[in-house]
A and B are shown apart, each in its own frame.
Chain A
Amino acid sequence: MGAKAPAGTGGGGLNLITASLGGAALLAGLALAGFGAGLSAWAGVRQNAGLARIGRRALYAAAGAVLLASAALEWALLDHQFELAYVTEHTDRSLPWPLLASAFYGGQEGSLLYWTLVLAVLGSAAVAAACRSGLRLRAYATAVLSALAGFFLAVLVFVASPFDLLEVTPPDGLGLNPILRDGGMLIHPPFLLAGFSSFAIPFAFAMAALLAGRYDAGWLAQTRRVALVAWSLQTVGLTLGMWWAYHVLGWGGYWGWDPVENVALLPWLATTAYVHSAQVQERRGQLRAWNLGLVVGAFLLAIFGTFLVRSGALVSVHTFAVSDVGPWFFGLLAVLLAFSLGVMAWRSGSLRSPRPLESAVSREGAFLLQNFLLVGLVAAVLWGTLLPLLSGLFGAQRVVGPPYYERVSGPLFLVLLLLLAVGPLLPWRRASRGWWRALGWPSAAALLALGALAGAGVRGPGLIVLPVLAAAAVTSVRGLRPWPWVWRHRRVYGAYMAHLGVVVVAVGIAGSHFWQSERTVTLTPGQSVTVAGHTLVYAAFGERPGTVREQFVTLGMGEETLQPARAFYPGMGGQAVSRVAIRSTPLEDVYVVLNDAAADHATVTVFVNPLVTWIWAGAAILVLGILLGNMGSVAPAAVPVRARVAAAAT
């Protein structure tokens, strides 16, 4: 760390240099992105390779400028440069350096800069890797990505600069929100924001394909790969968000159907649909317009979500990142919607599929049904999220909670899981008369699970969900059979592995949802409480003094001890944050929250959450499957699907 000037004296010229350099890098980035967008679009129209090359270099240079601005902000944060309003508002001297570094994306302006950084760097990498996509497609993709980067840079320069200076330098900062002072802060936001941002890349390639009039295998392979990158980042981000909520918020769950969670789920659902329906286009040349619509829709949902979160239009647990950028994002959404609908309408004639669906009972039919279910989920979640806004416009505000989402999404998820068991067993084009014989193993697994559960006295929805999951697990595991050729068939392997990951996640969600036990109790020393067979004895109360005061109780559970605590942040108005105590095993978590404590009593809530660790393990299998399935493969050259299908048929 550099030597600091005495507190309150104004910091010194070096600190002003950081702010000036950061601001200058944003300005230079804006100019370069604007130049790159215009020149690349012109290069696409003129089909001029030289201009296209200069346009690409402008995008790379803009990415370099954003990288420089990011480095300047990181330096200012780590160096406690409280001359910068952003550093003062989001850090203080007590923060350890990893949390200081993570404050980069802990506030509105910094997280926008992080968005821009991911967009510019990943966008540049995607454009650089698209050397076999054809001149026009690559040039238009560069233009769209540069224009989007230019928009974010304009917001950073004119509305939400992280380099704004304070008139008087305070001796210390206000500090990071206590909920964000956790290890989860180091991993969840970077992945989720990167996921959100990277949906722009498949969007850019989709728009470029439309502008260039090319919807062939080259476009498809390119877009599918970048969509999978965005989807994987979002999967990791969502899972880490669930894990963080579970470990930090202290309500015993991991998904609360909070508006911000919902808007992060929407583009993920749309892209899940796309990575499946893209295979129909790849194999059969069908669903071109639908696929383009999904890619465009996923990005528009990401921007819409960003608008909702950052404008403060919706109340959420994530409201620490609200400012006046709302109208800008609303404007961007309107422009993108008009632009994409306009281009799709212009190209609608050439987007028609060369052949219709031959039979509903086919792999294509299964993919299509899966897509409809996912789009249905998007609509249901979107409606629930927007209802408070829409109803507020016409009278009393109506809010729907978890019961609505669970009632609506539960049946859709169940059919999706059933498709996981049946879909991979269906042949392409049309199923022959005896295709249902392939269902023997999964059906046997489902019946066996049903018998075992009924025999064990299980009743309720779990009796339906678990047999379906057993069938899906058998289909997925049987897909992994030919072990010696894993690498050669890695794409199929990766897909089945991802399916298996989904099944494992679903088992975890079903277990913790249907069989969670909960009890809130006030104990005096020596008293005990028993929840789902686990007896906890109140052993002791203690306090840890310090700038962040902590109260904790020690509870004995057999030979183990659990220590739930509450931390009080005097600098944040005495805000108290729960420190949950969790004892995890593969079968269940004992999860204890301290609500209130004094020397003579403690009020705790004890949850026993079955199978929660399966959710984290399943998500890891899912992402590993996607990585395995797409590792090392080279994007195919631009061969038209029609020609490829014709060649395969001969």
Chain B
Amino acid sequence: MTWLFATVLLAAAAVYVLWPLIRHWEDEAGD
């Protein structure tokens, strides 16, 4: 169960951490 929780937490954290990059890609796609 620990690994399952860790994966979920990391996935959520990845969205937050990489958000500037995601926004950058979105902007590039919009252009």
Contacts and interface: CB of A to CB of B under 8 A. Distances in A.
A573 interface: no
Contacts of A19: 2
Interface residues of A, number: 22
Interface stretch (A50-58, A233-241, A245-253): A50-58
Contacts of A423: none
Interface string A464-504: 00000000000000000000000000000000000000000
Among A19, A28, A35, A50, chain B packs the most CB atoms within 10 A around the CB of A28
B13 A64 contact: yes
Interface string A11-48: 00000110111011101100110010000000000000
A61 B20 CA distance: 14
B9 A25 contact: yes
B20 A28 contact: no
Interface residues of B, number: 17
Interface in B1-31: 1-6, 8-10, 13, 16-21, 24
B20 A53 contact: yes
Contacts, number: 57
Nearest to A24: B5
A270 interface: no
A93 to B, nearest CB: 27
A27 B7 CA distance: 9
A55 to B, nearest CB: 9
Contacts of A68: 9
A58 B18 CA distance: 9
Q: Which of B2, B4, B16 has the most CB of A within 10 A?
A: B2
B17 A61 contact: yes
Contacts of B2: 19-20, 23-24, 27
A54 B17 contact: yes
A20 B13 contact: no
A61 B13 contact: yes
Interface of A: 16-17, 19-21, 23-25, 27-28, 31-32, 35, 50, 53-54, 57-58, 61, 64-65, 68
Given A20-B2, A28-B13, A57-B20, 12 more contacts: A21-B5, A24-B5, A31-B10, A32-B13, A32-B17, A50-B20, A50-B24, A54-B17, A54-B21, A57-B19, A58-B17, A64-B13
